[in-house]
Amino acid sequence: MLRGNPSFGNISVKQFGVIETLTAITRGPISQPSRARTFNQMAAEALAAVPSITPDEARRRLEQDPNTLVIDVRDAADIAQTGTVPGAVNLSLGALTYLADNEVPEDWRDPRLADRSRPIITTCILGPMGALGGKLLHDMGFSNVQILKGGVQAWIDAGLPVTDNRVG
């Protein structure tokens, strides 16, 4: 899936025009930075922009629609400590920025994110990073994104099962 990753692969990002595109963007007019926001403020803005779903609602959604994709945006090492929602995939927040981007080379993208209308639930341990992931997908044109309210911890607190600490 990540053949040609600019950090690890043997394919130069220049051959895809990425450098040229980024250079053109950065050479545009310099504007004043918008107001600085904290992580919690950005998470609150994301929660206001993207619908949330409770753990029990998410469980029902997964039972009713097996096409629903749960994305845990934490790093794999963090997921290994707690487990996650059964069937969830691990697409870290940093990787999600290009795995869901239609403008990067196709072999860098995650094929599970090809359908912008696919039902998606984003999560992390407590919810804020999952909210940022949900907002990122929403801003990229995904039309059916929800954030797991309270994250995996709320899922656990609701008595729902978690994985044995491995994700796909």
**CATH at 47:** 3.40.250.10
C-alpha 51/C-alpha 69 separation (Å) is 15
In the chain, how many domains are there? 1
Would 25 be classed as within a structural domain? Answer: no
In angstroms, the Cα distances linking 4 to 1, 49, 91 are 9, 33, 18
Would 141 be classed as within a structural domain? Answer: yes
Considering only 16-30, 82-96, 115-129, which range has the smallest mean pLDDT?
16-30
Q: Is the pTM of this model over 0.75?
A: yes
Would 6 be classed as within a structural domain? Answer: no
Q: What are phi and psi of 112, to 5 degrees?
A: -70, -15
Residues of the chain by 3-state class (helix, strand, coil), percent to 5: 45, 10, 45
What is the residue range of 77's domain?
Answer: 37-157
Angle between the 39-49 and 128-139 helix axes, to the nearest 10 degrees? 60
Would 24 be classed as within a structural domain? Answer: no
Would 76 be classed as within a structural domain? Answer: yes
Tens of pLDDT, residue by residue over 54-87, are 999 999 999 999 999 999 999 999 999 999 999 9
